[in-house]
Structure 1
Amino acid sequence: MNQAKREVPGFEELLARFERTVSVLGRSQSTFNNYSRHVAAISLYFGKIPTELDPEQVQDYLFYQQKKSKTPSQTYFKHCVYGLRFLLKSEGIPYEYLRLPSIKHDKKLPVVLSKEEVWAMLQNTKLLKHRILIGLLYGCGLRCMEVRSVRLQDLDFDRQQLKVVQGKGKKDRYVPLSVHLIRGLKTYIEAEKPQDYLFNGQPIERAGGDFDSRYSQRGVQWAVKQVAKAAGVKKEVHVHTLRHSYATHLLEDGMDIMTLKDLLGHQNIETTMEYLQIAQLDSQRIFSPLDTLFEKCRRK
């Protein structure tokens, strides 16, 4: 980012306008940081700000990024396109100006852990901090940014609730706190003595010169990966896997879909309905014909 400010004419002014637009539209600081990195990368690649490029140059750059991307979902490529779209929007320029492609969303069902696998993760955490982290991600269905942003003032042990402040979509919500998690939280707070954020990390300087003292996103991701590995979980486990497991297990335990929607902080019920395809509900029990085959033929 700083390199682009130094080397690309007009980039610093463009970035200031971009940040203002992101803020005015109510998007998070992490959204700005993510998109601005991609804007800086393409600016450095050509030595010009993106609005001075012609469509052919942008197409060549996107083709280069697409070929370079190693992940099946091509996340880097997609975020590059989203960043450029947002930049054009902030500059009042139509998407057609750079002939940006549409991005198809992958139709994939999420990975869900069994309760036994979640239990194994909780039992195989070496650090109390990581056990509480896993407990909040699974026990409250938090997103990565939400768990990083938990403050001591958000915890209400008397009412057994956690206030999720300004989650995705800039919405607050309350989620229940398990009595087991409350017990662990009290032990952790007594031992670690956090002052503001529940989970602290190495301070990182943000745009504007202030510092972010929260546990980093990379730190949370690493902790979840390490705990899953120690627990012997063979599935591909990410931070969001625990949120998917939270939603699925609540449905299987009898929670109705509308209550679950509110707990997850979803804006649309269609997003929550996805978990009905995964949950093994007694009212919609799915089974293999091998089960009935064995039961019937063994009696003969």
Structure 2
Amino acid sequence: MNLTESILSYRQYLKRKNYSKHTIRNYLHRLQSFLVWIAVPVEAVRPVDVNYYIEYLMEKRLSAETINAHLVVIRRFYSYLGDEEEIEIDNPAVEGIALRLPKPLPRHLRDNDLATFFEVVHKSRDMAMFVLMLRCGLRVEEVANLTLAAIDYKRHQVLVRNGKGAKDRVVYLSDDAANTLAVYLRSRPQTTEKHIFLVEKGPHKGKVISVRGIQKRIEYYSKKSGTSVSCHKLRHTMATQLLNAGAGLVTIQNLLGHSRIKTTMRYCKLSNLKAEREYHEAVAKILIKSGITLAGNLRC
């Protein structure tokens, strides 16, 4: 088995599967880390070796989520060798080997924290990027990849191309999001670049701003405002606000681009004002219908 050729073929396979450049880079980096670590040929790796590798990653203080991501890459590489290259090989990354993950609830921002955060954002570009996350539920990668052609002002729509899972979807522009974006576009330098958000200073001025570049901007304003804000928290906040305003789960699922309703349902466990309202309304109706006041039966 020629390992170098197999890795190159695997890279081409990931491209054919339409994985993003970012995902392919991460896959190959994690695969390389594993292949450098193992002391036996690829075809001789056993589940016990993968367990030792998990221990090695834990000693490096990697999170359980990151370690499981490494295991996914190993498992898929061995599946590729068996299914695509037809090599008789056992997959050592067996099911059930992954670490258990905690399931923290998505964190959203309260109205006063949002106000405090946006008070310190004075650049029109940065304001537009953050408002698109908050009002349209865009992921940071989707903001970085947004093009001029994706904006439909007449219909108040944004076409998100190649979102997570290489899926396209349509989201909607609120009035404040549309106005904020328009303010930035009026001040945006004349350029042939089709991507909307560009670097404004330094040697990369005029180039497309990177995902990390956007994250650094939000980290800067978060520190400046004294609030804990991240790109993903803005997206979570949008979902929570829609839910509390009465929007249905399927609607929120479609807007966020979740492939499973189960993911969206996690927002129900948050500060769900909708559930609180519906509970009190329902109990009030029950009390009126039954005519029973339980507290009236109590004696001091």
Shift of 1:168: 1.6
Structure with greater strand percent? 1
Q: Note if 1:167 corresponds to 2:167.
A: no
Q: 2:257 aligns with which of 246, 249, 265?
A: 265
CA contact (8 A) 1:164 1:174 kept: yes
Tell me which structure has the larger Cα radius of gyration: 2
Matched residues in 1 for 2:254 and 2:185: separation?
28
- Partner SS state of residue 100, structure 2: coil
Deviation of 1:27 after TM superposition, in Å, equals 2.9
Aligned to 2:226: 232
Secondary structure in structure 1 of the residue aligned to 2:8: helix
Distance of aligned partners of 1:222 and 1:125 in 2 relative to their CA distance in 1, 3 Å threshold: same
TM-score by length of 2: 0.78
Q: Identify the range of structure 1 (28-37 vs 87-96) with the bigger mean alpha-carbon deviation.
A: 87-96
Output the amino acid matched with 1:86.
R
Question: In structure 2, what is the Cα distance between the partners aligned to 1:263 and 1:62?
Answer: 36
Alignment RMSD, CA only?
2.7
2:212 equivalent among 194, 218, 231: 218
**What whole-Å deviation, never above 9, does each CA across 1:134-159 have from its counterpart, x for those lacking one?**
11111110112211110011011122
Cα displacement string for residues 46-101 of structure 1 (whole angstroms, at most 9, x for unaligned residues): 4877445454444333211111125xx43432221121112112212799532442
2:68 is aligned to 78
> Mind listing any 5+ residue stretches in structure 2 that lack a counterpart?
201-206, 281-300
Structure 1: gaps spanning 5 or more residues: 1-8, 203-212, 288-300
Q: 2:107 corresponds to which residue?
A: 111
Letter of the aligned partner of 2:102 in structure 1? D
Q: Write the mapping of 1:28-43 to structure 2, written as runs, cut at 5 A.
A: 28-43=20-35
Question: Which of residues 221, 225, 240 is equivalent to 1:248?
Answer: 240
- CA separation of 1:47/1:126 partners in 2, compared to 1, >3 Å: closer, same or farther? farther
Cα separation, 2, equivalents of 1:96 and 1:223:
46
Does the C-alpha gap of structure 1 residues 255 and 42 become closer, same or farther in structure 2, counting only changes over 3 Å? same
Q: Which residue of 1 aligns with 2:10?
A: 18
1:231 is displaced (CA, Å) by 1.9
Q: Which residue of 1 aligns with 2:176?
A: 180
Shift of 1:230: 1.7
The residue aligned with 1:192 is 188
User: Is the 1:251–1:279 Cα contact (8 Å) retained in structure 2?
Assistant: no
Counterparts of 1:136 and 1:259 in 2: how far apart (Å)? 18
Letter in 2 for 1:200: L
TM-score (norm: length of structure 1): 0.78
Give the one of 284, 292, 295 matched to 2:276. 284
Provide the C-alpha distance between the structure 2 equivalents of 1:91 and 1:77, rounded to a whole number of angstroms: 22
Distance 1:147 1:108 in 2: 25
Aligned to 1:5: none
8 Å Cα contact 1:261/1:272 also seen in 2: yes
- Deviation of residue 116 (structure 1)? 2.3
Instruction: Give the % identical residues.
Output: 26
Q: Distance in 2 between matches of 1:95 and 1:221?
A: 42
Alpha-carbon distance, 1:29 to partner: 2.5
